Structure 1
Amino acid sequence: MPDLPSDSNVSGSTPLPIFQRNPAADLRKMRRVITEDFSWSLAMVPPLSELCLQQIVSNFEKNPILDKLVPKHKTKVLDRISTLLPLKVTANLISDESYWKRCCAQRWAVCDISQYRGSWKRLYFERHLQNLIECFIPDLTDAQSILEVAELGKDYVAKLEIQQLLPPVKLEDKKEGEVDEISDSGSEVDLDLPSMDHFDLNLIANCLHGLEELHLVYGVKDCGVNFQWNLFNFTEQDCVSLAKALQIFKNLKVFRLNKSKVDDEKVRVLVRRLLNHPSLVHLDLSHNKISDRGARAVGKLMSQSQLRILNLCNNNVRSNGAQAIAHALSKNNSLTSLNLRLNHIVDEGGQALCQALLHNTSLMTLHLGSNELSEPTASVLSQVLSQNTTIKSISLSCNRIGLDGGKQLLEGITDNKTLVEFDLRLTEIGQESEIFINQVLQNNQEQARLEALEKRPPSRV
């Protein structure tokens, strides 16, 4: 009789339950995995590449890895790294515009990229450097940080618009009874004189080899109740330092120095360094204190440079200064725009400038508003309008030209085909003359529009 299986009895009755025969084996077979999160799946586990990217982002400042990444991973890293990373890490490493756009949006609410040739990186470096310079206080702020930013941004900074330059902090008067330190020779050891009156651009001039535009205001904006005249003072030391810096900026095309109390002596110092400048084409010295001597220096600059735009608005230029500028204008063949608004050139200066236009063939815009001009100037200008074929815009607003002057201007403009703008507001020329002059201007504007359409290249279908 063959042996029966061990798990059955001889009598053929029902076998014993399995947990009674082998408890350990039975427990293993009874185990079950019961999940509590029904949304869990294997897809929720991040891939190894994602974990690596997270480590690269979190350690980017100490170990910046970017160029070795494939494009899709590089994009992810640039989208995640902080905008507060030091410039010494990001300046030369990151050229991606989306990153610099995030940096700009983080700092400034309004960012007009059209003013920076469409470059977010240039916008960031220029405005960052401007902010540092505008907040610099001589002998109190460390200039090393400005020098570092200028060095890092030397390939991206092309324009600086400095809206304020702060003076040194005025030291409090010494306490009563305090004795000055005296050296053995009897002179004071510490004179408490500042090392500079305002930020010295020579500190960063050698770094900004690509600077093309510079706008400066030696004053404090939003000073409010703390107003003091010494907050608006372009000193001799400032002038000498700026003149040296201008000579270093070989690629400078536009220079503006406004609202800084620039007088004749200081403008002569600046002009001396700008003579024969290789690139300067736009000079703006408006809203200063330049008189005839300074105007003569500017006239010399016109004769020895390639200036195209000159703005001396709101100064103290009188007839002699205007005559010096007129003399230079008569021999100049590069200037296209001259602004002498809000000066005191009177008819002697106005007539000289108009006579210069009989010889000049480059000037296209002339602004002589608010200069105490009258009918004699209008008489010479009438002759100019009948002969000159390059001038396109003239402003005589806020001058007492009078009815006779208006008639002479109308006579001169009748055969003119190039003038398209003629500002005669508040000149008392009479309504009839004004109406006929406007008709001539409208005809010239329409003709200019048609000529522009003819020159426009044909559109591609």
Structure 2
Amino acid sequence: MTHITVTAAAGPGNTRRIITEDPSWSLSVIPPLSALSLQHIVSNYGNNPILEKLLPKHKTKVLDLISTSLPLHVTANLITYEGYWRRCCSERWPICDISHYGSSWKRLFFERHLENLIERFIPDLTHTGPICEAAELSKDYVKRLEIRQLLPPVRLEKKEDEVEEISDSESDAGGELPSMDHFDLNLIALSLCGLEELHLVYGVKGCGMNFEWNLFRFTKRDCSTLAATFKTFRNLKVFRLHRSKVDDEKVRVLIRSLLDHPSLVHLDLSHNQISDRGARAVGKLLNQSQLQILNLCNNNVRPHGAQAIAYALSKNNNLSSLNLRLNRIGDEGGQALCNALLQNTSLVTLHLGSNELSEPTVTVLSQVLSQNTSLRSVSLSSNRIGLDGGKQLLEGMSENRTVVEFDLRLTDVGQESEFFINQVLRTNQERARLRAQQKQVSPP
């Protein structure tokens, strides 16, 4: 409640003057004209984005106050101030790590915004316009897309009598088919010519009790449309398609489109259904590309597929990492790969865990360890190596000067062999540390 006092003033008429007792009242609380102008600019920025003509201190103040809900077509190309995009990101996502986005808040916002739109797209139910518009506005900022789910069309349940009436001719004509099985990246490919990384999963997150196998299906139509995007994504360096039931037929279609790709260096097809025919296609890609990292973890590659990859590896001097964990290459495939490493001089990391390997493979690998000077990391975990195999590995490692990581978990090589192998590893690690120090000290 405001307290007032009434004071009798001197003079004719006995005029009274009322004075408010508000200790916080002051003429200084009246905002200056510049502040009023800035408030007007902030409240009307969406209709009249005045920014470049302002003084630097006024420009920063406006950017700190304007709403983060303004349309992207207004803010995308006009605002480069990182503080504004940081506010946009923090309000939408509780966890934001810009180290994965080139230390740019603006790039983080546009990449995650576009990813969210694509992940929520349902064919023939969601309009493609907002995604195409967002892609066009994002073209200068999006370098990587990590799509964690792609939703299939909504299948409406039909009555039994309606299902029986559907004829083969109608099915062939495509009258009952959706326009696309999952979101078609060709719709935005031209806007994202500078894309460098693409990670895809053709499946649904958190389907819960609504689980159906149809929710996890990479169709032939998906495959052909995805393969077509590689003609546009010529700057793509990393391509990852995993947990999508990619089989031999589909991987051959994809590889055919990647054979002449100028930029691809990292291919991840892990957790799929690729077997020997698909592995042969991958081997052909190794012969005709600049691929440096290949991940075929958890597929169905058997000896013949491993032999095809081994043949390519023996002639390849670009690949630095090969992951074949959780396949079935057996000793026949394992020996082929190890023989290839007697000629290969580029591979640094080799993962052959859980591949039904045993002593015959280790016999050749021991020779590789004593001769190869490029390998730094080897994994044979969860294979039946045995005590004799452990002794052969120790014999090879005793002459090795470069391997600094060797995973022998669940191989039954014996404590003695494992102990002495670890001693060699520690020596190699110290040697590698000293080399790294010398490189830092010595002038370029």
1:348-427 map, 5 Å: 348-427=332-411
CA distance in 1, matches of 2:176, 2:298: 37
CA distance in 2, matches of 1:429, 1:60: 70
The residue number in structure 1 matching 2:293 is 309
Deviation at 1:192, TM superposition (A): 2.6
TM-score for the superposition, normalised by structure 1: 0.90
RMSD: 2.2
Call closer, same or farther: CA 1:156–1:187 in 2, change over 3 Å: closer
- Alignment of 1:124 with 2:89, yes or no, is no
Deviation at 1:26, TM superposition (A): 5.3
The residue number in structure 2 matching 1:439 is 423
CA distance in 1, matches of 2:138, 2:172: 42
Alignment equivalent of 1:171, drawn from 148, 156, 178: 156
CA distance in 1, matches of 2:321, 2:135: 33
Deviation at 1:457, TM superposition (A): 3.9
Call closer, same or farther: CA 1:408–1:38 in 2, change over 3 Å: closer
Partner amino acid for 2:258?
L
The residue number in structure 1 matching 2:55 is 70
The residue number in structure 1 matching 2:5 is none
Find the residue that maps to 2:190 and give its secondary structure: coil
The residue number in structure 2 matching 1:298 is 282
Deviation at 1:38, TM superposition (A): 3.6
Alignment equivalent of 2:269, drawn from 277, 285, 294: 285
- Alignment of 1:134 with 2:125, yes or no, is no
CA distance in 2, matches of 1:232, 1:357: 37
Call closer, same or farther: CA 1:55–1:374 in 2, change over 3 Å: same
Partner amino acid for 1:93?
L
CA distance in 2, matches of 1:261, 1:142: 27
1:163-242 map, 5 Å: 163-174=148-159, 191-242=175-226
Alignment equivalent of 2:96, drawn from 111, 123, 134: 111
CA distance in 1, matches of 2:160, 2:364: 67
Call closer, same or farther: CA 1:261–1:64 in 2, change over 3 Å: same
The residue number in structure 2 matching 1:18 is none
CA distance in 2, matches of 1:67, 1:29: 58
Partner amino acid for 1:143?
T
Deviation at 1:31, TM superposition (A): 6.3
Deviation at 1:409, TM superposition (A): 0.9
The residue number in structure 2 matching 1:272 is 256
Find the residue that maps to 2:67 and give its secondary structure: coil
Deviation at 1:44, TM superposition (A): 1.0
Deviation at 1:402, TM superposition (A): 1.0
The residue number in structure 1 matching 2:128 is 143
CA distance in 2, matches of 1:299, 1:59: 59
CA distance in 2, matches of 1:151, 1:267: 30
Call closer, same or farther: CA 1:401–1:82 in 2, change over 3 Å: same
Deviation at 1:432, TM superposition (A): 1.0
Find the residue that maps to 1:454 and give its secondary structure: helix
CA distance in 2, matches of 1:404, 1:360: 27
Deviation at 1:260, TM superposition (A): 0.3
Alignment equivalent of 1:49, drawn from 34, 53, 59: 34
Query: Quick check: 1:262–1:290 contact (8 Å CA) kept in 2?
Result: yes
Task: Give per-residue Cα distances to partners, 1:108-135, cap 9 Å, x unaligned.
Answer: 0000111001000000000000000000
Query: Quick check: 1:180–1:188 contact (8 Å CA) kept in 2?
Result: no
Percent sequence identity is 72
CA distance in 2, matches of 1:50, 1:214: 46
Alignment equivalent of 2:317, drawn from 318, 333, 336: 333
CA distance in 1, matches of 2:339, 2:162: 69
Alignment equivalent of 2:240, drawn from 225, 234, 256: 256
**After the TM superposition, which of the residue ranges 45-54 and 448-457 deviates more from structure 2?**
448-457
CA distance in 2, matches of 1:211, 1:236: 24
Partner amino acid for 1:312?
L
Task: Give per-residue Cα distances to partners, 1:142-171, cap 9 Å, x unaligned.
Answer: 000000000001000000000000000002
Deviation at 1:36, TM superposition (A): 3.8
Partner amino acid for 1:422?
F
The residue number in structure 2 matching 1:101 is 86
The residue number in structure 2 matching 1:17 is none
Alignment equivalent of 1:430, drawn from 414, 423, 429: 414
Find the residue that maps to 2:350 and give its secondary structure: strand
- Alignment of 1:245 with 2:224, yes or no, is no
CA distance in 1, matches of 2:92, 2:152: 26
Call closer, same or farther: CA 1:141–1:386 in 2, change over 3 Å: same
Partner amino acid for 1:283?
L
CA distance in 2, matches of 1:157, 1:145: 16
Task: Give per-residue Cα distances to partners, 1:22-42, cap 9 Å, x unaligned.
Answer: xxx954895646344343222
CA distance in 2, matches of 1:61, 1:388: 64
CA distance in 1, matches of 2:48, 2:268: 47
Partner amino acid for 1:316?
N
- Alignment of 1:152 with 2:137, yes or no, is yes
Task: Give per-residue Cα distances to partners, 1:362-395, cap 9 Å, x unaligned.
Answer: 0000000000000000000000011101101100
Find the residue that maps to 2:191 and give its secondary structure: coil
Query: Quick check: 2:171–2:177 contact (8 Å CA) kept in 1?
Result: no
The residue number in structure 1 matching 2:3 is none
Call closer, same or farther: CA 1:36–1:237 in 2, change over 3 Å: same
Find the residue that maps to 2:189 and give its secondary structure: coil
Deviation at 1:178, TM superposition (A): 11
Query: Quick check: 1:181–1:190 contact (8 Å CA) kept in 2?
Result: no
Task: Give per-residue Cα distances to partners, 1:331-382, cap 9 Å, x unaligned.
Answer: 0000000000000000000000000000000000000000000000000000
CA distance in 1, matches of 2:22, 2:408: 82
CA distance in 2, matches of 1:358, 1:181: 60
CA distance in 2, matches of 1:435, 1:181: 69
CA distance in 1, matches of 2:370, 2:415: 22
CA distance in 1, matches of 2:90, 2:388: 58
Corresponding residue pairs, total: 433
Query: Quick check: 1:330–1:360 contact (8 Å CA) kept in 2?
Result: yes
Task: Give per-residue Cα distances to partners, 1:186-232, cap 9 Å, x unaligned.
Answer: 99998231000000000000000111000000000110110000000
CA distance in 2, matches of 1:199, 1:406: 50
Find the residue that maps to 2:39 and give its secondary structure: helix
